[in-house]
Amino acid sequence: MTYNAYTDGASRGNPGDAGVGVLVRDEQGRTVLSLHGYIGRTTNNVAEYTALRTLLERLEADGCTKLVIHSDSELLVRQINGEYRVKDPGLKKHHEEVRRLMSSLPCPVEVRHIPRAQNSEADRLANKGIDSRVPLPASGLP
């Protein structure tokens, strides 16, 4: 089964208060995962990577035959797909962790850039994370 995931990180200020939003739907459009959370004060790029990492850590990928991740962050998508180098030392560790998590999934992963207007639900969740000030729920992972 193909899963379509939408991720977004938001920061009010750069750096500023930040949140993440993650939404995953199956082929029938049913929501498989939806979450949001506050991640403290950070940059927008770190928030984008944190949203993607959160997806990869939390997704129960049993039965997944393909994961298509959609993001409106052109920088993140191009870095993950190897089109841009990761120059910022702070982002390098996030990039390496995301690539490691992607390779550990039991299904192939594709990362696509989409216009912001097509990512409105993940954006709404990310902003809800900032507004709520409620940290991401514990993942149960080490």
Q: How many domains does the chain have?
A: 1
- Residue 140 resides in a domain: no
- Residue 11 resides in a domain: yes
Give the per-residue pLDDT at 61. 86
**pTM exceeds cut of 0.85:** yes
Give the per-residue pLDDT at 136. 87
- Residue 141 resides in a domain: no
Q: What is the CATH number of the domain that holds 108?
A: 3.30.420.10
Give the per-residue pLDDT at 142. 38
Give the per-residue pLDDT at 141. 43
- What does the block give as tokens for 139? 């993942």
Reading the chain (142 residues) residue by residue, the pLDDT tens digits are 999 999 999 999 999 999 999 999 999 999 999 999 999 999 999 999 999 999 999 998 888 999 999 999 999 999 999 999 999 999 999 999 999 999 999 999 999 999 999 999 999 999 999 999 999 877 644 3
Strand order in the sheet with 2-13: 31-42, 16-25, 2-13, 66-71, 109-113
Give the per-residue pLDDT at 139. 64
- Residue 142 resides in a domain: no
How big is the CA angle at 76 (ends 85 and 116), to the nearest 5 degrees? Answer: 145
Burial tier of 68 (Cβ tally within 10 Å: 0-12, 13-18, 19+): middle
Range of the domain at 43: 2-131
Q: What is the per-residue DSSP string for 64-126?
A: -SEEEEEES-HHHHHHHTTSS----HHHHHHHHHHHHHHHHSSS-EEEEE--GGGGHHHHHHH
Give the per-residue pLDDT at 62. 84
